[in-house]
């Protein structure tokens, strides 16, 4: 995924959401989470074809991540909501305005 500010995106996904850095090489960071998924981040111009990507991240405690998102001033689309399938979701915008969510 191409991001305009690699450090801010890394801070959002690692320090606030709670994902793990798997690899860092220059202008590339690979992060991962529960269930073995990986996401590669590279710094580049906003407006690439990858901008339409929607990312949903499973976390242990969506209410805690929501609290950290709000405290960090991240644009959140409302409080966590219970879903019909039993999980809880909260939607937010990453540093380039892409819609993402965390759920448990």
Which regions in the chain score pLDDT beneath 50?
Answer: none
Percentage of the residues of the chain whose pLDDT score is greater than 70: 91
Residue 51 pLDDT: 54
Mention every residue, 6+ apart, whose C-beta is less than 8 A from residue 98.
51, 53, 54, 55
pTM (2 d.p.):
0.66
User: What superfamily in CATH does domain 2-103 come from?
Assistant: 2,3-Dihydroxybiphenyl 1,2-Dioxygenase, domain 1 (3.10.180.10)
Residue range 57-77, pLDDT digits in tens: 889 999 999 999 999 999 999
Residue 48 pLDDT: 58
Please say whether the beta carbons of 50 and 42 come within 8 A: no
């Amino acid at each position: 995924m191409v991001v305009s500010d690699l450090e801010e995106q890394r801070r959002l996904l690692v320090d606030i959401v709670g994902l793990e850095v798997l690899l860092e090489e220059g202008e590339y960071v690979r992060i991962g989470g529960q269930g073995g998924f990986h996401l590669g981040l590279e710094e580049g111009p906003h407006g690439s074809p990858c901008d339409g990507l929607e990312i949903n991240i499973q976390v242990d405690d969506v209410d805690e991540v929501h609290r950290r998102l709000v405290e960090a001033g991240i644009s959140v689309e409302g409080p966590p909501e219970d879903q019909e399938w039993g999980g809880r979701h909260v939607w937010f915008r990453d540093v380039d305005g892409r819609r993402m969510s965390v759920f448990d």
